[in-house]
Structure 1
Amino acid sequence: MVYISRMEKLLFIITRRKMPPQGAEQESFVLYETDAKDDQDAIKHMTPQAEKRVWKIVWRNVAIFTYLHIGFLYGAYLFLTNVMWTTRLFWLVLYVCSGLGITAGAHRLWAHKSYKAKLPLRILLTFFNTLAFQDAVVDWARDHRMHHKYSETDADPHNATRGFFFSHVGWLLVRKHPQIKAKGHTIDMSDLRNDPVLRFQKKYYLYLMPLICFIMPTVVPTLWGESLWNAYFVCAVFRYVAVLNGTWLVNSAAHLWGSKPYDRHINPVEIKAVSVAAIGEGFHNYHHTFPWDYKAAELGNYSFNITKLFIDTMAAIGWAYDLKTVSTDVVEKRVKRTGDGSHHVWGWGDKNIPEEDKEVTNVINPEKDE
């Protein structure tokens, strides 16, 4: 693939600049969730409480998100009542592509390195990620690695122990906790900063983002006769804010309400409704237990995990490879050791579990004896 090699060299030359020193932690993208023991100290460690702080509000961000959500409501009204069916179809395509830029790109590929991608796929996912406008991949992945390494502490950018609103959107409306800056140097981002595609995105982000996220979705629908007004509020604003909130639900709802079949000691939960909104990211208790699995779910059912379908398709054409997953044996042992009993196979409702196994699980899950 001489052409691809030359493309990578060209991107390297365009984006070349002095790299900052590597962080203290190496290969931090592995990010194993702490393996809790069955003692009070470990449980206390796994359920930290956030420091109660007075929010230092960033009013500019409040104004921007207020405008965007008013536009979201108006765009939703137009979507339901006043736009062409082709515009609705284009909205859906944009929603899925934007979501994949976060889920298959920034999250599973770059934040966790759960699979590898060849240059064409990396360029495509970078385009999708810019369409989603949730910051450049390097910045998004840095925050996400912080979220896993310091989950539910003050060094977690969207610490869910500070409540639903904070973990959903409030963290973007206030000044960051000092611990985020203090612990930031422990996250090694050199693997992403050395990627010429991501450097290109980061260098030209302020030019690429408005063009790809707002201008393109507004102009394209006019090709089939849609008005600029409708296209802007439906395909740009409504679509953008819908994807934002779908992503935010992973930070908020998926850390608060649901079952914990894999690890009952951590806050992340399983919630299918979020998986629908975030195209496969709602199986969050599994993901925080096994963050290196490219499926971000045990089963990877395509109806709830469009991202897995996309990655599998890319693997079939040779653009994705080295997909990492977890063996059934490892999952079973973890469920029986730290799960809350809600697993569909090895949980408390399974009549096929031998009585001797239930006795062992009772020791691990003493609260189920009540």
Structure 2
Amino acid sequence: MALDTTSHHATEVQKLNQPIIWSNVIGILLFHLLAVYGLLTLPLLQIRWQTYLWGYFLYLAGGFGVAGGVHRLWTHRTYKAKWPLRIILLVCFSISGQNSVFDWVRDHRIHHKFSETDADPHNANRGFFFSHVGWLMQRKHPEVLRRGRQVDMSDVLADPLVRFHNKYFSLLKMLFCFFVPVVVPPLLWSEGWYNSAMGVGILRYVLLLNAAWSVNSLAHIWGGKPYDREISPTENVLVTWLTAGEGWHNYHHAIPWDYKAAELGPSTVNWTTYLIEMFSRIGWAYDLKTPSPDLIRRLVERRGDGTHYKWGAGIMGTAGITKQIDDEFQKWGAARELAEESQ
């Protein structure tokens, strides 16, 4: 196909033509091929029920490490956690097998501040595949790198547990994402090694990865926008079920400092929130941040798309109310990296 040679168009093409990281392409493709092979070859009816339960527990634990840990705690500082809970969250995050805490938090803070721009690591305007997994297969856009160097990460590095996790990241990832999950079923209830390696080791890992990636792709493309009709993120129930509560994404981008990452309406499912609240009852989680119902109502009536279950499409057009909303969201909004000292 002929390439438009106008200078403007050539510049746009060049901007999006980042070098491919072939090691990542091969690694991601290999894991997915192994997962498909596992689905085709595993004797699903012969696998012990304890193994299914163990795999589901690991899936939920990994999801809690991502949603409740690197996302709601370390990225957005929506609540504070004492050291026992932070250890649990770091172990759970290791189970998920994703990037280091430092890299995850930095990328996500940039994503919120520069959503759907060249500085967004997984810019949804570049299509489903790129926002889902393609962004991991190529070098970061120069704007992502430039903005990443400007993000204040001092609060994350101030946590000694995070520093320890970063130092031994690869070892902890191999230990909790692959070694422990795979060896437990054969040793404790005589599950077959192949069943454990392919089912608990590979298939569970790939499913959880795609669930986490769906927040960047599915929840930025399909769904309603009851809280802010002018942004890309949406409310996506499927993503919520896949990620234990992270699919209420239009709300989360509108109010990123809420520990619930959702309004918790009548149809809301949010297992991560329930766990955080459980830990708050024993004092391990505290200072949980959340907006008043009145602030949410004013946001919905001013910016929503009319699909909110309670307040619908009413529009508040007065300048005073609009300024009050904007002032509160400037104080707590997505553009601010909350540099609070870890407790």
Residues 68-77 or 172-181, more deviating: 68-77
* Counterpart residue identity of residue 200, structure 2: C
- Does 2:51 correspond to 1:74? no
Q: Distance in 1 between matches of 2:38 and 2:155?
A: 39
* Counterpart residue identity of residue 54, structure 1: N
Q: Distance in 1 between matches of 2:111 and 2:261?
A: 16
TM-score (norm 1): 0.79
- The residue matched to 2:262 in structure 1 has which SS? coil
Q: Distance in 2 between matches of 1:166 and 1:52?
A: 14
**CA offset at residue 75 of structure 1?**
3.3
- Does 2:299 correspond to 1:334? yes
Match of 1:181 among 142, 145, 149: 145
- Does 2:170 correspond to 1:224? no
After superposition, the C-alpha distances for 1:320-366 in whole angstroms (9 at most, x for unaligned) are: 00100111100000101011111111114xxxxxxxx57969xxxxx
Q: Distance in 2 between matches of 1:328 and 1:207?
A: 44
Confirm or deny: 8 A CA contact 1:262 1:286 kept in the other structure: yes
2:231 aligned residue = 266
1:237 aligned residue = 202
- Does 2:129 correspond to 1:139? no
- The residue matched to 1:153 in structure 2 has which SS? coil
Confirm or deny: 8 A CA contact 1:302 1:309 kept in the other structure: no
- The residue matched to 1:152 in structure 2 has which SS? coil
2:242 aligned residue = 277
In structure 2, stretches of 5+ residues that fail to align are 1-11, 319-343
Change (3 A) 1:205 1:304: same
Matches within 5 A, 1:53-132: 53-77=16-40, 78=42, 80-132=44-96
Q: Distance in 2 between matches of 1:266 and 1:155?
A: 16
**CA offset at residue 50 of structure 1?**
9.8
Q: Distance in 1 between matches of 2:208 and 2:54?
A: 14
Q: Distance in 2 between matches of 1:360 and 1:183?
A: 34
- Does 2:263 correspond to 1:298? yes
- Does 2:222 correspond to 1:257? yes
Q: Distance in 2 between matches of 1:302 and 1:71?
A: 36
- Does 2:260 correspond to 1:318? no
**CA offset at residue 202 of structure 1?**
0.4
Confirm or deny: 8 A CA contact 2:244 2:272 kept in the other structure: yes
In structure 1, stretches of 5+ residues that fail to align are 1-48, 349-356, 362-370
**CA offset at residue 67 of structure 1?**
1.0
**CA offset at residue 146 of structure 1?**
0.7
Counting matched residue pairs gives 306
Q: Distance in 2 between matches of 1:72 and 1:300?
A: 36
Change (3 A) 1:289 1:303: closer
Q: Distance in 2 between matches of 1:217 and 1:282?
A: 27
Confirm or deny: 8 A CA contact 2:15 2:141 kept in the other structure: no
* Counterpart residue identity of residue 273, structure 2: K
Confirm or deny: 8 A CA contact 2:227 2:304 kept in the other structure: yes
Confirm or deny: 8 A CA contact 2:156 2:162 kept in the other structure: yes
Q: Distance in 1 between matches of 2:246 and 2:35?
A: 22
- The residue matched to 1:186 in structure 2 has which SS? coil
1:156 aligned residue = 120
* Counterpart residue identity of residue 341, structure 1: G
